[in-house]
Each structure stands twice: as C-alpha cells, then as structure tokens.
A and B are shown apart, each in its own frame.
Chain A
Amino acid sequence: MLTRDRLGAFVAVLFGTAVVALTLTLLASAKPRVPDRYAATVVAVRNPGVTTPADPFPESRPWPSTEAAALAARLAAIPGVTAAVPDRRFYAQPVIDGRPVVTVEEAHGWASATLASDRLVAGRPARSDHEAVLSRRWGVPVGATVTILTATGPARWSVAGLIDAQRLYVSDSTAARLAPGVRMIGLTGHPDLAGVRAAAAGATVLHGASLGGLEPRADARTRWVGLQVLSAMAALSAFACVFVIASTAALTVHQRRREIGLLRATGATPRQVRRTVTRQAAIIGAVAGLAGTVLGLLVAPLIGRVLVDAGFEPASFAVGVHLWPVLAGLLAGPLVAVAGSLAAARRAAKVGPLEALRQAELETRPMSRSRWAVGLFFTAAGVVAGLATTMTEDLSDLGTFALVGAMALVVGATALAPAAVPLLVRALLRPARGPIGMVMRESALAGARRTASTAAPVLLTVAFAVFIAGNVQTSTEAYAGRRAEAARAGSVLVPDGTPGLGDAAAPTAPLQTVLYLNDTAVDAVGVDPAATSGPGPTRALTAPQTVVVSESWAARLQIGLDDTMTVTFADGLPTTLRVVGVAPQAVLPADLVVGRSTVREHDASALASALPLPRGTTAVHPLGARVVDVQAYARQADAEDDRLVWIFTMLLIGVSVGYGALAVANTLFMATARRAPDYRLLRLAGATPRQVLLAVAGESAVVVAVGATLGGVAAILALWGSAEGLRAQTGNAVALTVPWPTAAIAVSTCLLLALAASVLPARARLTRFEPAQDLS
C-alpha cells in the first residue's frame, strides 16, 4: 500500500508530528516552580506586573515601606491568615574562605523565615544591626564574625544563629533600612482568598499554581528563551512538513495526470478526484501522526536534557507526559497532511478526461493566474513582515515577524518559481552547447512546472539554512556592538563570583537599576558626573534629583529640558526628577541616566556590571572582583553566548534542513523514476548510457541551482527585513551578513543528495534494460 510516492509524505508527517509532540510536551513541562525559600507561602500579594519592551521579565514595582506595612496589617486581619510578612530582600553575599558564596545572592529580613519555614538549629534570630543568621553548612559557629559583601562593600557581621538551608537572614530593622521597598507580601496559614483580594485592592494575588510567579526572574527569563526555541522549532517543523507534503503531492498529481484523466473519463467527478487525494493524505497523516507522536514522546526527555545543559531551561526543568501535546500530535498528522495536499487536490480535480490520451508531457501554461496571485501575495506579505520588524519594540515579536516573513517569502518564491525557471535555466545552461546540454535545457524549459516542483525542497532547505544562520549572526553582532563600545580600555574590572561590582570595589562605576514610570519598568544607570570618560550631557548630573533622557524616550514621554518626571525607585517612593539633558541613545549607557549618588540613595542593591580601567592601573583585586584584559572579558562573555547561540542555531537548522534534505532526496528519486520513458527515448535516439547519466546528473544539478538561487534570494530578502528590525531595536548600525559557509554547505548537501537520488537509480535501471526491449 505504501508506494514510493506515499513514502515521502509518510516520513515527512512522521517527523513533523514527532517534533510537534516533542516541543509541545517540553513546553507543557516547562512550568514555573515555586522557589524553596517560599515553600511555606500559601498566598503571595504583589503589585500588578509592569511591562517593558525589551525585557519580558521585569521585577514588579515595590511598595514604599509605610504602604507595605499598612497593607500587611490589613492582610493579617483576614480570617485564616497566620502571618502576613512583607518580604524584604537586598543584595548580600557571605564570604567564606575568602570567596563569596556563589549560591547566595540576597539576604532577607528575619520575618521572611516564616515564608520558608526555616527554623533555627542554633543560636537566636538576628535582632540588631550587623547581626546575621547563616547556614550551618558554611562552618561558621554562632558568635563568630563573618564578612558579608553588600552593595556598599564588605563588612564584618556577627553570627547570631544558624539554620539548615543555604540562606542568609538579617534583622528586620536592618532589612527595613537597606530594602525599604517591598515587592511581595507573603501569607501563611489558610487565608480566605476572597478576603485577601478585597483587602489587596487591585494588587496581584498569587495562589496555588500561580505561586510559580515567584520564581527568580532569571529562571523565568531562561524558560522564556526555551519557549522561543521550542516554538520556533515547532513552527518551522510544521511549516516544513506542510511544504514538503505540498510539493510532493503536487509532483505526484502532475506525474499521475494520465491516471487521473482515466478516472475522470470513467466517470469520476472533479469533486470525487479531489476527495480521493485528500482522503489518501488524511489516512497517511493519521497513521504517520500516531507513529510520530509516540516517537516524539520517547525523544522528549533527551531533548529536555539538551535544553537544560544548554541553558535554555532552568535546572528545575523536568519532562512529564501531558495530555494535550499528545492530542495535538495526533491531530496534527492528518491536519498537516490534508493541508499540504489541498492545492494538489485542486489541481488534480482540474485534470480533464482527455489527459488520459495524451502521450507527451507538454505543459501549456506553467503559471496560471491564481499561481501568480498567490506568489505575489506571499512575497508582498514577506516583505511587509520584514518591515514590521522595524516597528515593533518587543523582542519576541521581532523574532516572530522575521520567521513568518521568511516562511511567506519561501512560499512566494515557490509559487513564482515556474516563471523564474526559464530565465534561470537559460542563464545557467548558456555555456552548455553539446547535445546533452541542449536536451537538459529544453526539457527543463518545457517542464517548467515540474522543474519548479522538484526544486521546491532545495529552495526550502537553502532558504532556511541561510536565513537562520544569517539571522543569528546578525543579531549576535547587533548586541555585541554595544558591549564592544563599552569596553574600550585596556583592562576591565569584572565581577568574580558576584552578580556585580559594589561601591568598595568600584566606587565610580555606573550602577544598574530599574526605574518605574507608570506601568513601565525602564533600565536606568547611575553615573558619576565627575568621571571624565562619561558622555557630555551627564556632567550636569551633579545636582541632586536630576536625570538625562534619551531622545526616543523624551519623544515618547513628551518632555524636554527642564521638565520634570516622576519615577519610582527600588524603595517604592515616588521621586521627582528634573531633566537636565536629552541625548541620542547611542551616546548614553541607558535610556535614563541619573546620578550615582541618587541611585545609591534609593537602591541598596544596585551594582555595576563592569568598570573599564584606564591604562596603567596596577592589577588590584578587590573582594568579589578581578581585573581582566578587555579581550579576555569579551571572549568570556562571548564564549558563553556563542555556545547558547550555536546550540539554538543547530536545533533550528537541524529541523528545517533535515526536512529539506529528506524532501530533496525523495523528490529527485520520484521525479527521475517517472522520467524513465524520456531517458529510454534518449537511448533509442543514440545516446550512450554514460551520456544519459550525464543528462540525469545535469538536470538534477539544474534543479538544485534553481532551488538554491530562489531560496537564496528569499533568504536574503528575509534577512534584510530582520536586519532592519534589529537596527531599529538596538540603535546600532547592523549590516546584513550573508552566512556564506552555511549557504555553501546547504547547497552542497542538496546537490549530493540530488545526484545520489537521481543518478544511482537511473544507473541501475539503465544496466537492466536494453533499448530493443522497449520497443515491444
């Protein structure tokens, strides 16, 4: 039952549903996990989420101290609430054996111990300033002193008590001083939810499953990256699957025209023919979908591990079997198969009964009006999607538009291919003068539609290989541009085991913080106005409560020089700042720049990411930092990014190119098998077997060349759109990079597969038949 024609479609659907089932299972498994330190929290209350375009996971806006206290009091009064704890945290790291403990990056007020149900195993809770509760695993006994690194620098604290878990607590008064802003109030006990919601008056209430929202922002960000990777894989896979089935079905219908015509002459209506095609596709889709879903579920844990190793999913990620991915996989099979075969079914229905009588394969009109319409529409859509990338600020939207644009361009190029085939074939085969060249040229021209259908998988493969590789390269350079600008000095002070540099290590380094403007969180930087290496407009920040704004934000907020704006810092207090400068974004380190002292005043956890050192500075290593050469720093950051990017690229290219390669081999095999009568005619006309094989190889090469050219053009158009979008988003001059090595590899792979799939079977067939036999 599974003839050669259907095998290609079967395998395509099999792998397509496998990838869909696999990615959906991984997506369903990627649930946020409540961190251990909030293990006892039953309900959490915090401010409604803020949005920020470039970072999908900003911290929620903090409440100022008094407001938090009032709210906590109200919540504590609700029946069922054992304790309502305002959770205060700030940057702190204990230093054990001279090195900061890497697993701990924040300290909480002792009241938050209730939220984790942390109990003392020795000593007493911290009560006064410079008293801390440590983990007993660090080997520091009660009563001893320990160095704790905060944003202001290292200091000696005394150990008041010990707990089992690896966490750090300070007294509530210290926490209130260093972290006045409260981002979350946790409730323990069995609170009445309706009462909580009423008392919270508009704040977000997390409960049960939604407590996962308490996970660290970094983990959420990692999961988001994983989401992007998985969705891109699923989307690419579904698209490639439909595409491969469509081109295989088109070729099959084209090659079986005579049989379809015979069916029509025997009395099959166009509708019956169309339904036969789609019914066959649905059956193949159902069977292959079942097999593919099973395969996908089996492979999911392996891929999950790869994602965790690569850093695309947090370490807490675990793969489980969920119902809806299985259903989706089972449904996807027939759906994808039928969708891919719709166009071919329509064409099959248009075959007239007299096709059964036609001997020659002569196409009258390779491009119908509807094909022109489809081709131009999708090409236009692809270009529009490319332009849309310039108008969006959301990072994930940019990726989506770019990918959708690439897909649309691939479809458009495939639809318009028969129109391009004559031009390309004439250009490519102009130097071929001998009889074989003539045969190749004329047969490619006469069968423009057939050539286009056979070239379609090559188009897909080359287009996506080039697009993905080029996109990744372009975006890497776009984001690297900023970093390269920042590190111009000969050496750089970077954090070592700490999340950033404090005041002691780098007293003049710019501090990173977040400002809240209405519902938006904006990354801001506090610079030292006296630093001569800073940009000009920041010199005016010597006055307190002043800010320098980037031009795009000034336009967005409709403010200018000497206007005021109200922002909220990390302590939750609204502060009015006066604009003392407006500058282009390329000059400023962030969209909002304030004075360093202003940041330190309001945010006790703000740290600096790096401090370029002027030449000739002696290598002094303060606690928690080290001096590295600029090159080494850039390389360190790049190496990690490169690894992530490389794995991401490989996953996506693997999916799309894997499909494409499969389709290339299958299509060339099918096409060559059906052209056997033509090749036998060539033999009868006097060609030697070697000349016939040369013609076969030449035609395959022409097909690959046509597909590669069209695919390359589609990819470059898509890359241009993506580059424009990145340029608009990052403000850097982003050049369109064409990944020539990847392109060369993709084209060579297609060529090798095409030649193997066409020449080898042709050779086998030629050695079996003699010309005289064919005359009978």
Chain B
Amino acid sequence: MTTPMVSLRDLRKEYRTGSDLVTALDRVTVDLPAGTFTAVMGPSGSGKSTLLHCAAGLDRPTSGEVVLDGVALTRLDETGLTVLRRERVGFVFQAYNLISSLTAGQNIALPARLAGRRVDPAELDAALAQVGLADRARHRPVQLSGGQQQRVAIARALVTTPAVLFADEPTGALDGQTSRQVLALLRGLVDERGQTIVMVTHDPVAAAVADQVLLLADGRLIDRLDSASAESIATRMAAVEATC
C-alpha cells in the first residue's frame, strides 16, 4: 500500500461567531491516494470548503493532523505553510481570483516570482498551451471570458508542478459547455500526468468525472462512492439532503 498523498487524521475545525461555537469539521479521517481524482460533496454548510482549506494549508484546524506529500502541515508556521503551498500545492477558487491589474502571463508567473524564481517565457507558454490559451498571454482578466479566466487560474496552479491540485467549485460560475471543457482538462491531468486532484463540487455531473466521491454532512464524512455515475451520486446526495 503506497503512502497516501494527502492524509487527514481526526480533523476538527471550530470557530466562534459571537457567542456560538460552530463546528465546521467534526473528526474527519481520510486518506487520498496519489494520482487520483477525488470529489468532495455535501449540502451547504457541510464543511467541504473548510476541509479543502485545511488540507491545502490555507487554514489551520482546531485539532487533528494533516500530512501532505509527507509533510505535517500542523507543525508549520505561517511562513512555512506559505512556502509549502508555493512549492507543492495548487489551488483554484470558484471566483477566479486573478489579480486584475496583471496580464494572464503575469498572473501565472506570480507564485514562482514570489518564490524568488524567474519563470522563463517558454515555461509560461507551455503552461498556457496546456490549458488551451496559448495566444492569451498578454490579455488582462477583464478581457477574458469566465471559462478562460478559470483556465488561467488552473494554469497558475499548475506552473509550480504541485503535488496536489485543490479546486473549490471550479465550474460553479461557468456554463455547461465551459464546465465540461474544464473538467476534461482536469481529468486529462490525472490520466496523463498522474496529478492528484481534490475537487469540491455540488454538481453530480462534475463529481462523476472523479475516481471517488466523499460525502460530507454536518462536518462529518458519511459516505464514500467509488467511480459512481452521475445518477447514483445525485440520488445519494438527495438522500443525504433529505435527512439533514
């Protein structure tokens, strides 16, 4: 049994709003093997985004352990987490989160430059070509469509050849056709390059592209579906939502 790429042990995340204590994650334990495509689903408020943030080192759990590519995240300080993220994690948000004053090329090169490395133009062109935007290097986000912006964000996440690519609802703001393009791109990365991808989604069709689906409800991991079809996923989700 190979060591998993991402390992979550007894993960808890609580936070206070005023006088209430909200439990976003309640003792989640799961291993994600390398080279797989995992989808995380659940009703709103189930903690799926929080799980992603903790696994990627963007947020700190209240208790529990996260091991990513052999590194225990909980032992790192802010600077250590940032450096780790720069080198081994790619993150794609729902709202593309590109810096509007920079071109697509500059946005993609930014993480590497923040790490102190110069990105040579050939690398940039290759990254853009990978997502099918080879001729858009000099365009600013405002000149790109939603799908194109999302693809630039994916290219940025990939330029550092991360160990894991995390995506939080990457197709949430895209229309059907563009969604399919983006999902095909992600699937291709797993199949051809062995990229490990963890994706949060509420869309069963998107989840069906994944190798396994994790179902969360009320911060707890309640089910796991392997290579399921979109219909069976949708049925299972409906059942979960009905009982919530």
Contact = CB atoms under 8 A, between A and B. Distances in A.
Interface string B105-122: 000001100110000000
A356 B86 CA distance: 17
B129 interface: no
A43 to B, nearest CB: 65
A267 B93 contact: no
A172 B82 CA distance: 88
A270 B79 contact: yes
B97 A268 contact: no
Given A353-B58, A354-B58, A354-B59, A269 B97 contact: no
Interface in A250-291: 259, 262-272
A729 B114 CA distance: 60
A359 B99 CA distance: 16
A266 B91 CA distance: 9
Interface in B81-99: 82-83, 85-86, 91, 93, 95, 97, 99
Contacts of A271: 79
B53 A265 contact: no
Contact of B99 (A262, A353, A357): A262
Contact of A269 (B53, B59, B83, B156): B83
B97 A356 contact: yes
B78 A262 contact: no
B97 A264 contact: no
Contact of B58 (A263, A265, A270): A265
Contacts of A272: 114
A263 B111 CA distance: 9
B82 A269 contact: yes
Best-surrounded residue of B53, B78, B79, B95 (most CB of chain A within 10 A)? B78
Given A272-B114, A353-B58, A354-B53, A267 B79 contact: no
Nearest to A270: B78
A287 B229 CA distance: 63
Contact of B82 (A270, A354, A356, A357): A270
Nearest to A258: B97
A265 B97 contact: yes
Interface string B138-156: 0000000000000000001
Contact of A267 (B53, B78, B110): B110
A276 to B, nearest CB: 10
Given A353-B58, A354-B58, A357-B93, A267 B115 contact: yes
Contacts of B93: 265, 356-357
Contacts of A262: 97, 99
A264 B82 contact: yes
Contacts of A265: 58, 91, 93, 97
Contacts of B110: 266-267
A269 B79 CA distance: 5
A353 B166 CA distance: 14
Contacts of A353: 58, 85
A81 to B, nearest CB: 72
A263 B110 CA distance: 9
Contacts of B85: 267, 353
A298 to B, nearest CB: 37
**Chain A, interface size: which category?**
10 to 19
A554 to B, nearest CB: 66
A269 B87 CA distance: 12
Contacts of B58: 265, 352-354
Contacts of A259: 99
A704 B110 CA distance: 42
Contacts of A352: 58-59
B109 to A, nearest CB: 11
Best-surrounded residue of B82, B110, B114 (most CB of chain A within 10 A)? B82
A353 B168 CA distance: 14
A263 B95 CA distance: 15
A267 B86 contact: yes
Contacts of B156: 266
A263 B97 CA distance: 10
B127 to A, nearest CB: 15
Contacts of B115: 267
B73 to A, nearest CB: 13
A352 B53 CA distance: 12
Nearest to A272: B114
B21 to A, nearest CB: 14
Given A262-B97, A354-B58, A356-B97, A268 B82 contact: yes
A411 to B, nearest CB: 28
Contact of A268 (B59, B91, B95, B114): B114
Interface string A345-366: 0000000111011000000000
A272 B83 CA distance: 11
Interface in B48-84: 53, 58-59, 78-79, 82-83
A262 B111 CA distance: 11
A268 B78 CA distance: 10
Interface string A401-421: 000000000000000000000
A266 B53 contact: no
Contacts of B79: 269-271
Contacts of B83: 269
Contacts of A268: 82, 114
A138 to B, nearest CB: 79
B102 to A, nearest CB: 10
Best-surrounded residue of A259, A266, A353 (most CB of chain B within 10 A)? A266
A269 B78 contact: yes
Interface in A310-368: 352-354, 356-357
Interface in B137-188: 156
Contacts of B53: 354
B7 to A, nearest CB: 22
A354 B85 CA distance: 13
B213 to A, nearest CB: 24
Nearest to B160: A267
A265 B86 CA distance: 9
A271 B59 CA distance: 18
A272 B78 CA distance: 12
Nearest to B16: A364
A264 B83 CA distance: 11
B157 to A, nearest CB: 10
A266 B93 CA distance: 11
A446 to B, nearest CB: 12
Contacts of A356: 93, 97
A262 B91 CA distance: 11
Interface string A547-573: 000000000000000000000000000
Contacts of B78: 269-270
A397 B82 CA distance: 51
A661 to B, nearest CB: 32
A364 to B, nearest CB: 8
Contacts of A270: 78-79, 82
A76 B78 CA distance: 78
A725 B156 CA distance: 65
A686 B238 CA distance: 37
A263 B107 CA distance: 11
Nearest to B110: A266
Contacts of A264: 82
A766 B95 CA distance: 27
21 contacts: A262-B99, A263-B114, A266-B110, A266-B111, A267-B86, A267-B110, A267-B114, A267-B115, A268-B114, A269-B82, A269-B114, A270-B78, A270-B79, A270-B82, A271-B79, A352-B58, A352-B59, A353-B58, A354-B58, A356-B93, A357-B93
Given A270-B82, A272-B114, 10 more contacts: A263-B99, A263-B114, A265-B58, A266-B111, A267-B82, A269-B78, A269-B79, A271-B79, A352-B58, A356-B93
Interface of A: 259, 262-272, 352-354, 356-357
| 7 nearest A-B residue pairs (beta carbon) | A267-B86, A267-B111, A267-B114, A269-B82, A269-B79, A353-B58, A268-B114
Interface of B: 53, 58-59, 78-79, 82-83, 85-86, 91, 93, 95, 97, 99, 110-111, 114-115, 156
